[in-house]
Amino acid sequence: MISKSEYAPYFEQYMQLVSVEEMSIVDNLEASQKKFHNLLDNLPVEKHNYAYDEDKWTLKELIQHVIDTERVFCYRALCFARNDKTELPGFDQDIFVDNDNANDRDFYELLSEMDVLRKSTIQMFKSFTSEALLRKGIASKNSISVRALGYLFSGHQLHHVNIIKERYL
């Protein structure tokens, strides 16, 4: 069982979306990626660059955001698992989106990139010892465990699956 002391209160919204007691980190990662991919794989082309409001991200930008966030969080997990005590900075998701080229990319290349990234994330988490999973570090001025990060990937992705269903489809 994961303790709420392993992550910042802000992340509770994501942690509530995963099956912490019923499924392992790896099982959650596989299940959330399957939901994400299956939801997006057969969308009509006109949805690829769709944004539900003028100042909101397009679907491609949302996918790129999920990719970028997973990469940032993977770096955090790797540092903390390796017992690096360096405090890591936050990142501004809006600056990332403002400076990506997601809307110029092929929609299915983005999905493929997310598939490959998730496979890499799963392999990284499979390599961590039970001791490494319990290690904590500081990122964005908050303490978080490697284990919490593992579940957070899935929760963040499922959060965006819900947003896609509610606002993009």
For 77-100, the pLDDT digits (tens) are 999 999 999 999 999 999 999 999
What was the pLDDT predicted at 107? 98
Sign of the CA dihedral with 17 first, then 6, 22, and 115 last: positive
Mean pLDDT of 31-38: 98
Architecture of domain 4-168: Up-down Bundle (1.20)
Predicted confidence at residue 98, as pLDDT, reads 94
pTM of the model: 0.96
CA distance 118 to 99: 23
Minimal CA–CA distance to 65: which of 9, 14, 110, 124? 110
Q: What is the DSSP string of 33-94?
A: HHHHHHHHTT--GGGTT--SSTTS--HHHHHHHHHHHHHHHHHHHHHHHTT--PPBP---HH
Query: Would the pLDDT of 59 be above 90?
Result: yes
Q: What is the pLDDT of residue 21?
A: 86
Confidence (pLDDT) at 90 = 95
Average pLDDT over residues 12-35: 96
Q: Percent of the chain beyond pLDDT 70?
A: 100
Whether 169 and 30 have beta carbons less than 8 Å apart is answered as: no
Domain boundaries, the chain: 4-168
Q: How confident is the model at residue 1 (pLDDT cuts 50, 70, 90)?
A: confident
